[in-house]
Amino acid sequence: MDFEKERSRFYKKDENGVLIAEIDYTLDDEGYICITSTFVDDDYRGQGIAGQLVDAVVEMAREENRKIDPLCPYAKSVFKKNPERYSDVKK
């Protein structure tokens, strides 16, 4: 899925402009990317969209040579379940 990117978030809207998925992040004082929340509309859950959102932030972190602090429960669980996949970007 292709996501739109704005400052501090990746998101996707449906054809009517309704938000269906979003991941928010901040940069802390040390330059770490802090994933603060992940949202997928109920109608779109179970399709792997939340994981794709996390991967979008991970790709950005790799491109910018930054580390990620996964603060939101979903992102934290993804990092915990796949430590080898995210070890290069995990704070």
Q: What is the pTM of this model?
A: 0.94
| Nearest-angstrom CA–CA distance, 14 and 91 | 33
pLDDT number for residue 1:
87
**Strand order across the 33-40 sheet:** 4-6, 9-13, 19-27, 33-40, 68-70
Q: Which pLDDT value is given to residue 62? A: 97
Integer-rounded Cα radius of gyration of the chain: 13
- Token readout for 2 is 């292709």
Pairing verdict, β 33-40 and 68-70: parallel
Which band of pLDDT confidence, cut at 50, 70 and 90, is reported for residue 39? very high
Give domain limits for the chain: 4-86
Is the pLDDT confidence value at 48 over 90?
yes
* C-alpha–C-alpha distance, residues 56 and 78, integer Å: 13
Q: What is the CATH number of domain 4-86?
A: 3.40.630.30
Residue with tokens 């802090």: 34
